Homo-oligomer: A and B are copies of this chain.
């Protein structure tokens, strides 16, 4: 089994290194091959997603991804900026199903900006569609407004769109995820305003007929943004489009107060996937050895479970992470008085030792 390792920028290399360390400590044989992506791809080959990196990602069984982005690339034209790498990988590999768990670890409840009673025991899953929506819809660009009150003025424009097969396939993924959990699925849309949302909602209702054991409800995105703050534990699984999912999954992650702990998976229809921490590249702390590698290590666990069919090894890693948390190990982002504050490498070592 071959894993493409794409460390990327900022803290990416440091945290991926720890995840690789943990993978090596398992009694499994993985072929791992590394390639530059994001700003690192641009530096090495002139493009955030070099052809050779894309080829490796295509050929591999799974992709372990760090993070991309750095202020120093802000002045590049958009097509060359680091984020294009992740958008390109999602699109070229048809990674349409993004799993973003928002879990509040019992040991870390206090890290949240929310009151402990609101978030303790929080465990929700956001299933975000990744291949469609306004992210990729055409036409898009800058033009002279063709009509309306400001006809003739310059305007920027984009196209939101979702086709029936796209909604169906993410719907099936979400219903099946809900079946393995508390069997409650909330489909988030803006059907009171958007045609795309109204269409999305109708298709979801149709898909629901195949999952009579799952309770489907619908919520407008503005209300979802409120309910996540007010009563996040009222959700089980949320399914939504690419744009709303971008916003809500980040909001939900931040509710836990420990985004440095949250993994994510982006899967294609055959469960091949890209695995990355939910947090970003944090260029401000890059190279200092203080970043939290646990989200990446837990992403590697997700990879073992979903793409590599090694659920037992995934369990081992997750238990090891639990153990190091119980033993009081904390990186700076989740540190509390009296904890054992450690750096990136020590945290990786602690997990490896706890395996």
Report which A residues bind B (CB closer than 8 A). 78, 81, 83, 87, 113-115, 118, 134-135, 137-138, 140-142, 145, 147-148, 150, 153-166, 190, 192-200, 221-223, 225-231, 243-244, 246-251, 253-255, 257, 259
Contact = CB atoms under 8 A, between A and B. Distances in A.
Given A83-B192, A247-B222, A251-B225, A145 B161 contact: yes
B250 A226 contact: yes
Given A78-B198, A153-B163, A157-B159, 12 more contacts: A113-B115, A113-B229, A134-B160, A141-B195, A153-B165, A154-B164, A156-B197, A158-B195, A159-B159, A221-B247, A226-B251, A226-B253
Copies in the complex: 2
Nearest to A84: B192
Contacts of A226: 250-251, 253-254, 259
8 contacts: A113-B114, A113-B118, A150-B165, A158-B160, A221-B247, A223-B250, A225-B248, A228-B251
Contacts of A248: 225
B254 A230 contact: yes
Contacts of A246: 190, 221-222
A157 B161 contact: yes
B145 A156 contact: no
Contacts of A145: 161, 163
Main secondary structure, interface of A, reads: helix
Contacts of A165: 150, 153
A158 B196 contact: yes
Given A156-B198, A199-B142, A193 B161 contact: no
A155 B150 contact: no
A211 B193 CA distance: 34
A102 B242 CA distance: 27
A138 B147 contact: yes
B158 A164 contact: no
A246 B247 CA distance: 12
B225 A156 contact: no
A254 to B, nearest CB: 4
A163 to B, nearest CB: 4
A150 B163 contact: yes
A158 to B, nearest CB: 4
Contacts of A200: 156
Given A81-B192, A229-B113, A247-B221, A155 B161 contact: yes
Contacts of A193: 83, 87, 134-135
Looking at A78, A165, A166, A229, which has the most chain B CB atoms within 10 Å of its CB?
Answer: A229
A223 B254 CA distance: 10
A192 B158 contact: no
A251 B254 contact: no
A254 B230 CA distance: 7
A288 B186 CA distance: 29
A195 B140 contact: yes
A137 B164 contact: no
A139 to B, nearest CB: 9
